[in-house]
């Protein structure tokens, strides 16, 4: 970890999966949620999943079904097929990272979570690095998977990179005992070299985040959903990734 993150990363609250409100018909990780966040002048956090043809799509879940019709894994579908699928009860369609960049156009910061199955697949980092090479706006990429963060050091050394963590992880399939504990304590930091940390708000304060702040490494915290969460975020972190409230 090192304290080299720019000021824009923590300058304003960050809308988790965009500024969504299902009751108002604005669904997470959709163009409508992105537009709402831009209009409110919030930063935007969204998730990226890799497709069968190597495209990075803005979507949280590993598979269709919760927010869309269908049940197929994202990784088994092409980008073209996914872009044709509507979110339930909306006219929004799934978008690529390139579409997202065009939509935001540098007006507010983007914080991109690269989703991982901890299987060594680096394609989402490779695609994000390729797309963002021509994006001029404020943007950062982060992941729970230290291998993806490490890969970004080589793929996109000028791209701000962070690690996502919480104190208690489920054991990662195929990983040795203790691996999840190491993730929570950020024991990989000397080789993954994150430039910021995004840590679960319910787990703050945490030894890893206390150390990070002492050495000037910014700490974001997620997901801030209540006034109590916001109070904790303001005390133990440098900025909130929020939903359901307006910081």
Tens-place pLDDT, residues 165-212: 998 777 666 667 778 888 889 999 999 999 999 999 999 999 999 999
Indicate the pairing of strand 239-242 with strand 14-16: parallel
Angle, helices 31-40 vs 97-104, to 10°: value is: 30
DSSP 242: E
**Residue 196: which of 177, 176, 181, 216 has the closest Cα?**
216
The 3 state secondary structure assigned to 4-69 is CCCHHHHCCCEEECCCCEHHHCECCCCHHHHHHHHHHCCEEEEEEEECCCCCEEECCCCECCCCEC
In the chain, % of residues over pLDDT 90: 88
Residue that is written with structure tokens 């690095």 in the block: 129
On whether the CB atoms of residues 224 and 242 are closer than 8 A, the answer is yes
Angle, helices 123-132 vs 146-155, to 10°: value is: 40
pLDDT at 67: 96
Whether the per-residue pLDDT at 2 is higher than 70: the answer is no
pLDDT at 162: 98
pLDDT digits (tens, 9 = 90+) for 47-96: 999 999 999 999 999 999 999 989 999 999 999 999 999 899 899 999 99
Whether the per-residue pLDDT at 9 is higher than 70: the answer is yes
Residue that is written with structure tokens 């975020």 in the block: 233
Q: What's the average model confidence in pLDDT over 131-142?
A: 98
Confidence class for position 144, pLDDT limits 50, 70, 90: very high
pLDDT digits (tens, 9 = 90+) for 28-46: 999 999 999 999 999 999 9
Residue that is written with structure tokens 């915290």 in the block: 221
Confidence class for position 4, pLDDT limits 50, 70, 90: low
Contacts of 53 (CB under 8 A, 6+ apart): 78, 79
CATH superfamily placement of domain 7-242: Phosphatidylinositol (PI) phosphodiesterase (3.20.20.190)
| Residue 147: Cβ within 10 Å count | 18
In the chain, % of residues over pLDDT 70: 96
């Amino acid at each position: 970890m090192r304290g080299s993150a720019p000021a824009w990363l923590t300058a304003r609250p960050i809308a988790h999966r965009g500024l969504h409100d299902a009751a108002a018909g604005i669904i997470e990780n959709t163009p409508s949620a992105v537009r709402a966040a831009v209009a409110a002048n919030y930063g935007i956090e969204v998730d990226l999943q890799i497709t069968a043809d190597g495209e990075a799509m803005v979507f949280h879940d590993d598979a269709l079904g919760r927010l869309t019709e269908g049940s197929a894994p994202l990784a088994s579908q092409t980008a073209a097929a996914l872009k044709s699928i509507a979110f339930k009860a909306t006219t929004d369609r799934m978008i690529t990272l390139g579409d997202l960049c065009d939509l935001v156009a540098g007006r507010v910061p983007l914080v991109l979570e690269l989703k991982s199955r901890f299987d060594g697949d680096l394609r989402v980092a490779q695609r994000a690095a390729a797309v963002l090479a021509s994006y001029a706006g404020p943007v950062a990429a982060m992941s729970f998977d230290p291998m993806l963060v490490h890969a970004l050091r080589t793929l996109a050394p000028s791209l701000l990179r962070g690690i996502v963590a919480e104190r208690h992880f489920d054991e990662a399939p195929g990983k040795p005992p203790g691996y999840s504990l190491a993730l929570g304590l950020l024991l990989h930091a000397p080789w993954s070299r994150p430039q910021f940390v995004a840590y679960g708000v319910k787990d703050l304060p945490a030894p890893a985040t206390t150390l990070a702040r002492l050495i000037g490494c910014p700490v974001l915290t997620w997901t801030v959903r209540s006034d109590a969460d916001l109070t904790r975020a303001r005390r133990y972190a440098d900025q909130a990734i929020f939903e359901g409230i307006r910081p």
